[in-house]
Chains A and B, each alone.
Chain A
Amino acid sequence: MSWFLFTILAVLTLGGGLGVVLTRNVVHAALLLLVSLMAVAGIYLILLAEFLALVQVLIYGGAIIIVLLFAIMLTRSDEYPRIGDNRQWPLAAVAALALLGVLSAAFWIRSPQDTQIQSPAFADLGNSLFTRWAIPFEVASLVLLVALIGAIIIAQSKGEER
């Protein structure tokens, strides 16, 4: 059963990803990215990481895709179909395939066998986040705050009233 689900979700993930990098329509690319990211949320469920699956759907499905679509609409122009891939794309394909080969070989040779999937309790995850990882957590919230303030300041028009 988990093999069946894993195969479907892996095909959706990789197919959506390939669609994102191959399609010529930017809006289709954003929607295919959504397919890929939701399939990744399913992969997290197979790995019994329910909290991460929830976060994935909320942050990626709910926020990041919407922001990306907003950006696409705001920068919409007739030039989008014209912006294809650059001339180095065969080189890029070779580099990507080489990376895939090296990573696959490394994983295939050295991956541990006979491991069981285990799931953390929500409470343990929260405890760990606010005790052992408290300082990185605070730094992450600061990073988010600074990035969003920076985004507002950068995106605002010059002549606008404050």
Chain B
Amino acid sequence: MVPLVYFQLLSAGLFAIGMYGVLARRSAVLIIMSIELMLNAVNINLIAAASHLEGVGRFAGFDGQIIAIFVITVAAAEVGLGLAIILRIYRNRGTVNVDEIHLMKW
């Protein structure tokens, strides 16, 4: 049986990788992929906690798994909308490099 802490460490690692991707990448599509990694890290954490802590204290009803379903829903909406915006920007400006999209940057 794997203790809860190792799942939490895995989720921390995946989140840190995703954060590096968001901060360091310049292609908008790759930034969206990194955000997906971060959302998955959160989901691992939620589901590990839900499975391990059911019945401990006030944890009941596997709420973590249900919140994870909502996170997946929001991730799907985010990908759809984000990619539509990227396609629009690509059509208007011919690039997906976020460093060159600075029209509204002060």
**Which residues of chain A have a CB within 8 Å of any CB of chain B?**
2-3, 6, 10, 13-14, 17-18, 20-21, 26, 29-30, 33, 36-37, 40, 43-44, 46-49, 51-52, 55-56, 59-60, 63-64, 67-68, 70-72, 74-75, 77, 79-80, 83-86, 88-89, 91-93, 95-97, 99-100, 103-104, 107-108, 111-113, 115-120, 124-125, 128-129, 132-133, 136-137, 140-141, 143-144, 147-148, 150-152, 154-155, 157
Tell me the interface secondary structure of chain B in the complex: helix
Name 18 A/B residue pairs within 8 A (Cβ), A-sorted.
Answer: A17-B17, A21-B17, A43-B7, A51-B65, A59-B72, A59-B75, A64-B79, A67-B83, A75-B90, A83-B96, A85-B24, A86-B24, A96-B20, A97-B16, A103-B12, A103-B15, A144-B73, A147-B81
Tell me the interface secondary structure of chain A in the complex: helix
Give the residue name and chain of the B residue nearest to A10 (CB).
B10
A72 to B4, CA, bound (A): 37
Question: Is B5 a contact partner of A107 (Cβ separation < 8 A)?
Answer: yes
Question: Is B20 a contact partner of A93 (Cβ separation < 8 A)?
Answer: yes
A129 to B69, CA, bound (A): 10
A38 to B74, CA, bound (A): 19
A154 to B105, CA, bound (A): 21
A150 to B85, CA, bound (A): 10
Question: Is B36 a contact partner of A111 (Cβ separation < 8 A)?
Answer: no
Chain A residues whose CB sits within 8 angstroms of the CB of B19 once the complex forms: 92, 95-96, 99
A-B interface contact total, Cβ < 8 Å: 241
Question: Is B76 a contact partner of A68 (Cβ separation < 8 A)?
Answer: no
Give the residue name and chain of the B residue nearest to A9 (CB).
B10
A116 to B55, CA, bound (A): 10
